[in-house]
Structure 1
Amino acid sequence: MEIERLLTGGHRKAVSFANADGKRWVVPVNGMRLALAIYQPGSFKGRMLKRLLPLLWRIGSFRRLLHADIISCELAPSIYQPCAEAFKTDVLDWSLFGGTPSADSKATIQCDKDGCILGYCKVTDKSDIALRLFKHESSLLASLNSFEEMRGHIPQAFDCTETDDGLYLFIQSTVKTLKSKEVHRWTSLHQQFQSTLHRLTATPMKAAETDIFLSIRRLYDTYANVIPEELRGFVSDSARTVLAQMSNMEVSAVVTHRDFTPWNMIVSDGALFVFDWEYGIYHGLPGLDKCHFLVQTAFFEQHASPEAVIRLLKTHDDIGAMLLKVYLLDMISLYASRCGGRWTDSDYDLLSFRVRLLGMADNFDDRT
């Protein structure tokens, strides 16, 4: 979806900039510091950009360094009005993230007023994304918000609707402020959140009936065909082995986020707030989210080798070989379903990294 479809001509001056991965942001210059809350960089360079842009955006040489442009625009009325109604206001400020390039790409709009972030609106022009992701996330959030202990730690879903011009919107709340922090290491807050989630949602069941088992089954039955040929045999064999091991197991299944990373959560007023539940499942396994947090931060932020990641994971006694294999196969399944065989260079690098970890998992329980 072209980002221009979400905008219309107007007098609001904004900076449009992109990164090397093709991700694009549009940030109005008035109130830019708050508007940039939508920009959540993981790299040092990105964090410096976030700090300097409100000060240096007027300087042409600085903008050229960022491949940034100054544009005049407004948010399209078909998006502005539903957001204003959801947040019960006549006037909104906004900023825009065009989304991560992928088959499931969707834009995200941050809605602000009077120096406060009111919430976020996800936007797509694909009906399948609206049904498969937006509706699913809305239902999952409603289910989790039925637990009083979860309220204030996850968004509330306000609206999931289609506009007259063929856009699909999903509007939700936030507690984010300028004082909110991203924490890029596993802490007691993360462990406490996961422990509460597990206690509230634990369901004894056969492993073969869980969402996580079905994900690996889909990988073996269908998605393995889109894995690059040089990796396909090993992934397929690993999936078959794990499915056989799980088939007679009884487990305590729990709601699992599946993208539990620093860029999908904040710490606000000393509490963890977790968003972007679109890939969440009702019946995952305890520990999968922790594996994901540790592996993703090691790969994207620390640029760690597979050997270094294995050493890191071995320092956590609650992570074992079987859990690691299940996690890696589920992630390979999820990414294979998203890419449909069209692996970008960055997708392939991450896939290869996960396959190398999978190859080391057999000896993982040897902690020497």
Structure 2
Amino acid sequence: LKTRNFNKKSFCSTKLSALDCYAMGFELFSRKEYISAGFWLYSAISMYEENALLRLHDLSREKIMELYAETLLKQSRYQDALTMMNVVLSLPSSKPNSELQRRKNAVELHIKTNDPQPVTHTKNPPTGYQLGCRGAFSNQLSKLYCVYNTTTTAFLKLAPLKMEILSLDPYLVIFHDVMSDEEIATLQRMAQPVLRRATVYSEERKLSEVVAGRTSKFAWFYDGTNEVTTRVNKRIEDMTGFELEGSEMLQVMNYGLGGHYATHYDFFNVSMTADIVAMQGDRKATVLFYMTDVEQGGATVFPNIKTAVFPKKGTAVVWYNLNNRFEGDYKTLHAGCPVIVGSKWVTNKWIRERNQMFRLPCYKE
């Protein structure tokens, strides 16, 4: 791999081989992502040097070039595909290949009998999610501020919390140094034996199911499981000022290499209210603790407000999912970026609205 800087960090510890590039190209071709497949296959051709490993996998230069020609055909690049086929057939090491010759003849006939069409390669602009994961939001300095929070609960008069305000609409803040190494180690030790694949609730099927957009493992813990969970929940009360009775359990999650969570909202939509929200109300707030530093990737991005929060061990991010009318706030659309290097551990708590009657004032719009 070429040396690249991702978010001001350089990574060049591993080199890809021709076999690696071919495997990537083959997989992308099978997914019908022909433009991307072509890039990988071209790289495989460029760096190809015959060796025992390639012979073991029966992978010749001609085989790679044939697949590359197919990607060109799938893109309607007939002249380029014909050129590649001619190169393959003219190689001294090339064996008689009647199928390739037949394909070549068909392409020549197509070119002769059809007007050449201009080939245009369109590339969709990056989404807000992609921009946030690439660090495009991180350089935008907030016009807000950092404070020692001494007012949310009486206890904070004695032990203020370091709070960084990122947004007021929607409300989004970071608390620094709110989970100790000992608490992190305990929660990880508790979770590891019982981790299971994370799921997403399907409104249509009325059940939770595994989806490609959420690749993590998780474990739930009751608030009073032990001293650590009790302490963490008390700290959440101090951070938010909310009543936690009736809220959801603590959830510990691990995202391995490539682990991510596609864009989503934490609040439930109206059609799900009768089944899920009726007892304790909707998810008023989300509290997300970062339990590890992530060397690269793993940010929580909010595309609609162009904000990204990168994992820092011991910090927590808090945001309100509902607006002042207690309706879902669509500005809170967020996602967990893929982990590129490292492992991401988080603990989160979803705080329900029903028991906040005397904790959270109702504001006029």
Fold shared per TM-score above 0.5: no
Structure holding more helix per residue? 1
Which of structures 1 and 2 has the bigger CA Rg? Answer: 2
User: TM-score if structure 2 supplies the norm length?
Assistant: 0.30
User: TM-score if structure 1 supplies the norm length?
Assistant: 0.29
